[in-house]
C-alpha cells in the first residue's frame, strides 16, 4: 500500500513509518518544517512539506493522489494553547478527511484517526484546565465529523495515556477499555495492523496495555 500520514514527524508517526517501510509499504509523511525531512527519510518515509493549518483543500488532495490509505496522527502538541487545539486537532483532521474524499477517485478510502481515550463525550472546555479540556473537545468533534462520513472506510483509535517505554506487543483493544497507559511502540503496531484489516472500518476503538498480542487483538474485532 501507499499510505499518507498527517503529522509525519510525531512520535507515533515515526514509529509507524518504520513499521510500514519494513513490511514493504510505501509511506509519505506530511510535515510542517523542511528540517524534519531527515528523520522521515531515516524512517523510510517520503517527506511531504505541507502546513495543515494553511494549506488549501485542492493542494492537500493533490498530495494524497495515488494513496491507498491515510492516517491522521497530527496534533498541536505540548505547550500549544486552546486556539491550536482547534486548528490542528479538530480543523486539520477535518481538512485531511475532506482531502481524502476529494482524492477518493485515486483510491483513498481507508482513513484512520489517532484520537485520545478521553475524547469520548468530552465536554466544552471551561475551568482551570481549559487547554487539556479544549484538546479533548477538539478530538471529540473531529471524531464525530469523521464518523459521519459515508465516503471513507474510517477507524477511530483512542489510545490511553502515552508512554515512551518499550512496547510489549500486548494490548487491550475494544470499544471500551477503561483507563490505562500504552507505549507509543504498541500504538504504532496497532495502527499498522488496522491498516491491514479493512474489516475494522466503521469502528471506534480504545487502546491500553493488556495481555493480548496485537495481531490477535485486531483479528478478534472481525471474528
Active site residues: 135
Burial of 117 per CB tally in 10 Å (0-12, 13-18, 19+): buried
- Closest among 62, 73, 18, 70 to 41, alpha carbons compared: 18
- Beta bridge partners, 192, equal none
Residue with cell 517527506: 47
Whole-number Å distance between alpha carbons of 50 and 57? 12
DSSP letter at 128? T
Q: Are the C-beta atoms of residues 163 and 182 closer than 8 Å to each other?
A: yes
Residues 38, 21: Cα–Cα separation, whole Å: 15
Q: At what angle do helices 57-64 and 93-102 cross, to 10 degrees?
A: 60
CB atoms within 10 A of CB 83: 11
Q: Which DSSP letter does residue 24 get?
A: T
Q: At what angle do helices 11-22 and 184-195 cross, to 10 degrees?
A: 50
Phi then psi for residue 134, to 5 deg, are -65, -35
Amino acid at each position: 500500500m501507499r499510505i499518507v500520514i498527517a503529522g509525519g514527524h510525531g512520535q507515533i508517526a515515526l514509529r509507524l513509518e518504520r513499521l510500514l517501510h519494513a513490511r514493504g509499504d510505501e509511506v509519505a509523511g506530511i510535515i510542517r518544517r523542511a528540517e524534519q525531512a531527515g528523520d522521515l527519510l531515516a524512517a523510510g518515509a517520503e517527506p511531504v512539506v505541507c502546513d495543515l493549518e494553511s494549506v488549501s483543500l485542492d493542494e492537500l488532495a493533490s498530495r494524497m493522489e495515488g494513496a491507498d490509505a491515510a492516517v491522521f496522527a497530527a496534533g498541536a502538541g505540548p505547550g500549544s494553547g486552546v486556539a491550536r487545539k482547534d486548528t490542528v486537532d479538530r480543523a486539520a483532521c477535518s481538512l485531511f478527511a475532506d482531502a481524502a474524499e476529494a482524492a477518493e477517485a485515486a483510491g483513498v478510502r481507508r482513513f484512520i484517526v489517532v484520537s485520545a481515550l478521553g475524547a469520548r463525550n468530552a465536554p466544552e472546555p471551561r475551568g482551570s484546565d481549559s487547554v487539556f479540556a479544549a484538546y479533548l473537545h477538539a478530538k471529540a468533534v473531529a471524531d464525530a465529523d469523521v464518523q459521519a462520513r459515508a465516503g471513507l472506510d474510517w477507524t477511530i483509535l483512542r489510545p490511553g495515556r502515552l508512554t515512551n517505554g518499550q512496547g510489549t506487543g500486548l494490548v487491550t483493544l475494544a470499544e471500551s477499555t477503561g483507563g490505562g497507559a500504552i507505549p507509543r511502540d504498541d500504538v504504532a503496531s496497532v495502527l499498522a495492523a488496522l491498516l491491514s484489516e479493512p474489516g475494522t472500518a466503521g469502528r471506534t476503538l480504545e487502546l491500553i496495555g493488556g495481555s493480548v498480542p496485537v495481531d490477535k487483538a485486531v483479528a478478534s474485532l472481525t471474528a
